[in-house]
Amino acid sequence: MKRYAPLLACAALLAACSSKPPAPDWQMNAHASAQKAVEAYLSGNARVEKLEWDRARAEVARTGRPDLLARLELVRCAAQVASLAPGPCAGFEALRADAAEPERAYADYLAGRAQPQQAPLLPEAQRKVAVSGDAGALAAIEEPLSRLVAAGVLFQTGRASPAVMAAATETASAQGWRRPLMAWLVLQAQRAEAAGDVEAAAALRRRLAIVELSAGGTGAGSR
């Protein structure tokens, strides 16, 4: 649970988990499934990912609250941004009208269109990156997935320096997250090739080949 705490805090699904009386079953079940879905996505296991997201949505839907469903959708979209697979966060956008301002700000942040005045509404781990947009702020983020999300946003906004890309690659590598690792390795290799750095590009391609071999049967990919 602690591993995903900063990201899942964005979804606010566990706000009552530590309170008494115990949190309702739907809340515990939704959190467990969302955590498994994120892990499956990052590992490139498409089958488990879909199964767990469906379960998480079904549990949250029991409340009849679109604002909670909107928060859940942001968790999925954040994982996609971390893996350089940005795009319209369709699940959230369909529920935007019922989402709270912090969730709307976070959705805008993930899409790379957050405004300066929205920064105070963002999760704490993302605020400094949203304002400064540099590798130093990224390095200060301790939680791995939050760091990757911030790196993905920097990439979307054209601020992913070589230091940012290297930090994202090594973060994904340390966690064994195949999907984002492959995506960041491909990006780094392309940048090295474009710069004419043949040696660096070859080294990155060798790393990529190893990850691709380890992904057999999981459906892992760079997107």
> What is the chain's mean pLDDT, rounded?
88
Task: Find the angle CA(69)-CA(75)-CA(79) to the nearest 5 degrees.
Answer: 150
With 70 as the cut, is the pLDDT of residue 132 above it?
yes
* Per-residue CA distances from 75 to 20, 70, 165, 198, 208 (Å): 25, 9, 22, 37, 27
Q: Give CA–CA dist 178/194, Å, rounded.
A: 24
CA neighbours within 13 Å on the CB side: how many for 64? 0
Model's pTM, two decimal places? 0.86
Pairwise pLDDT comparison (56 vs 19), residue with the higher score:
56
Q: Positive or negative CA dihedral for 37, 133, 131, 114?
A: negative
Nearest to 79 by CA among 91, 67, 97: 91
Q: Could you report the per-residue pLDDT of 34-50, keeping only the tens digit for each?
A: 999 999 999 999 999 99
- Averaged pLDDT, 12-30: 69
Domain spans, the chain: 2-12+22-164
Q: What is the per-residue pLDDT for 5? A: 44
Q: Give CA–CA dist 187/169, Å, rounded.
A: 10
Q: What is the per-residue pLDDT for 13? A: 46
